[in-house]
Chain A
Amino acid sequence: MISLAGRDILHGWGKFVLTGVGLGLLIGVTLSMAGVYRGMVDDAQALLDNSHADLWVVQKDTLGPYAEPSSLPEDSERPIQAMRGVAQAAGVTYLTMQIAQGDKDVRVMVVGTEMGEPGMPGQPTHLIAGRQIVRGHYEAVADVKSGFALGDRVKVRRNFYTVVGLTSRMVSSGGDPMLFLSLKDAQAAQFQKDSDAIVRQRARTEANPQLNPPGNPAVAAAVNAVQSGNTNVNAVLVTITPDADPDLVADAIRRWQRLTVYTRAEMEEILVQKLIANSARQIAMFLVILSIVSAAIVAFIIYTMTIGKIREIAVLKLIGTRNRTISWMILQQALGLGLIGFVVGKIAASLWAPFFPKYVLLLPADSIRGFFAVMLICTLASVLAIQAALKVDPAEAIGG
């Protein structure tokens, strides 16, 4: 058997390959979009994995700490620690902010963790250089993605912190690199007011006769101390003992501490289904549009190629070529275009993935799915051309 499609393509390969490359760039964009989504899910999972927690205890009736603000007293940790099945419990604060890095800004998630004993949930893992925070104040561990190096001085709000350790792949669910501080430092940073605000607040307190009763200045001083201090955390991360059932422990904490508790599975659901759901829909929209555009391109090119051969097709039919041979020729050309497009797209997506600001995760399974989607789209796109070819009357080859 002879491949009519292959011979036709070889005969005019320049146009065919150029179209294939153009289609490939579109497919590359499509694959990258899927990769961006996978990257977001992976970032979310990395965040959960790297927290080393089995349970997340948060402010009652919130989806905290990642999807909604959550705040609970630091000392909620102690009764939790005492519950059966709980191995470790540690308060943690999260605050996403913009900080200066050299002469540019970098968006980081400042994480306050309890540094007391090593191995507490919430502490930085994946240390690739340096060490953990050992002093209570003014030390930081930064993720390499932030651009900081060991020994750098990082300014968070009003204070400077020295980078003593570097991690990799410690990112927020939004993909921002983490910057770890001790819990105390992080609390101070999170709730710190600037001097003017403090001055104004003191003035307000002192002007209020209830907070500043005449003849008793100690009251105003106490109120000021309460107002400027902060002992809240955003969540308490809990690890459970090996024999405990996370759902049962979570139930017990919910019942006895009247707090909201999420297991790992529930947290994953919140991050993936709720937090990045909109982005996922956004990306799905792009995928649909890109698929339609790709289909339109393939359909247009294959249709044009077929219309350009209409006389040859009439001759082929007249001398006895079967419809199935002609349809197969057109289908093969559409599939060939798809194949070139897919290969170019896959290569392009891999080449440009590192240049995306967000993590782009190209899963082989997505590529396989993409391949079949491309082939399906090309098949559908060839329908129009095949119809046109089948409509050709072999009598047209004989002059009127």
Chain B
Amino acid sequence: MADGITLENVVKTYGNGDTAVHALRGVNMSVAKGEVVGLIGPSGSGKSTLLKCLGAVIEPTSGKMTIGDQCIYDNGWKVRDLRALRRDLIGFIFQAPYLIPFLDVTDNVALLPMLAGKPNAVARKMARDLLDALDVGHRAAAMPSQLSGGEQQRVAIARALINRPPVILADEPTAPLDGQRALAVVALLNDMAQQFDTAIIIVTHDEKIIPTFKRLYNIREGLTVEEIPQGIASPAPAVALFEGDTARDKV
């Protein structure tokens, strides 16, 4: 599974000395292209920190990260231009769609290729094809504020996919959606992972979607990441884990 994203012993410590917070203490994980995995864990366990390291938004303290066969971090960044790295290799999906309110749907999706220098017409054609594939082609000319929540999230997914990145990071993408729609979004992401041969990592709290993952990473107190293979029809362990987590969250 070397061609997806691989983390070896990734450590992240915020601050130093007495006030140091050991958010990640040696994380190992690996996601293949075409695969969708869930990342769960109680509040404060380090999910967001891990996502930010994966997304090259914050710098790990040590360890090694590889995307495809390109080593991007080995006790220090291996690429100089992190913006270009994010733009070309990583797609992001957020809790809320976070679309750019002053661009229409097509241009929200076409923005990245345009900024990367693709001619507008080419970028827009790519965007429309992708929007069609995601069943929101009919809203291509609408402004984000005119869309329903589900439509917005589809457009956000299209934006994450537009540069065909080998990795997509989703930060609680179903948080604002009800059960039916949440499941639909996960199903869509599964489709997309296969269709575009992308590794997708979904950070989630959402009990409804946890049983749908074939593989789950459960991160506990930032210490380790244990891999929990899901039984084909046995979502129970994951839910149990998750329940402990929510109980903690309520405190």
Which residues of B are found within 8 Å of A318, using beta-carbon distances?
A: 55, 57, 86, 92
Interface residue from A10, A12, A397, A400 paired with B94 (Cβ < 8 Å): A397
Q: A399-B48, A399-B172 are in contact. Are A325 and B115 (CB under 8 A)?
A: yes
- Inter-chain CA distance A397–B92, complex, in Å, is 10
Interface residues on B, range: 20 to 34
- How long is the Cα–Cα vector from A400 to B172 in the complex, in angstroms? 11
Query: Smallest distance from the beta carbon of A79 to chain B beta carbons, Å?
Result: 81
The docked-state distance in angstroms from the alpha carbon of A11 to that of B145 is: 11
> Scoring A residues 298 to 318 as 1 if CB is less than 8 Å from chain B, else 0, what string do you get?
000000000000011001111
Contact B94 A315 (CB under 8 A): yes
Pair A2/B107 contact, Cβ less than 8 Å: yes
Q: Using an 8 Å CB-CB cutoff, how does the interface string of B103-123 with A read, 1 for contact, 0 for none?
A: 100010011101101001000
Kindly provide the distance from the CB of B93 to the nearest chain A CB, expressed in whole angstroms: 10
How many A-B contacts if CB must be within 8 Å? 78
Of A7, A325, A398, the most chain B CB neighbours within 10 A belong to: A398
Q: How many A residues, CB 8 Å from partner?
A: 25
Nearest chain-A residue to B87 (Cβ)?
Answer: A320
- Say whether chain A's binding surface is mostly helix, strand, loop, or mixed: helix
* Chain B hits for A395, CB < 8 A: 52, 57-58
Instruction: Evaluate whether A320 and B115 lie within 8 angstroms (CB atoms) in the complex, with A7-B102, A8-B102, A398-B57 already known.
Output: yes
In the complex, B98 has a CB within 8 A of chain A: yes
Please report the C-alpha to C-alpha distance between residue A4 and residue B101 in the assembled complex, in whole angstroms: 11
Is there a chain A Cβ closer than 8 Å to B125's Cβ? Answer: no
CB distance from B97 to the nearest CB of A (A): 10
Check: B95 CB closer than 8 A to any chain A CB. Answer: yes
The digit string for B20-56, where 1 denotes a CB below 8 A from any CB of A, is: 0000000000000000000000000000100110010
Given contacts A320-B88, A398-B55, A399-B48, contact A1 B114 (CB under 8 A): yes
Q: For the complex, is A322 an interface residue (Cβ under 8 Å from B)?
A: yes
Q: A317 to B83, alpha carbons, bound, how many Å?
A: 7
Q: Which residue of B lies closest to A393 (CB)?
A: B57
Q: 19 A–B contact pairs at CB < 8 A? A: A1-B114, A1-B115, A1-B117, A1-B120, A4-B103, A8-B102, A11-B143, A12-B102, A312-B100, A312-B101, A315-B92, A319-B86, A319-B91, A320-B84, A320-B112, A322-B83, A398-B52, A398-B55, A399-B171
What 8 A-B pairs are tightest by C-beta distance, nearest first?
Answer: A320-B87, A11-B102, A8-B102, A320-B86, A395-B57, A315-B98, A2-B114, A320-B83
B-to-A contact residues, CB < 8 Å: 48, 51-52, 55, 57-58, 83-88, 91-92, 94-95, 98, 100-103, 107, 110-112, 114-115, 117, 120, 143, 159, 171-172
Known: A12-B102, A398-B92, A399-B171. 11 other contacts (CB 8 A): A2-B110, A11-B102, A315-B92, A315-B94, A319-B86, A319-B87, A325-B115, A397-B98, A398-B94, A399-B48, A399-B95
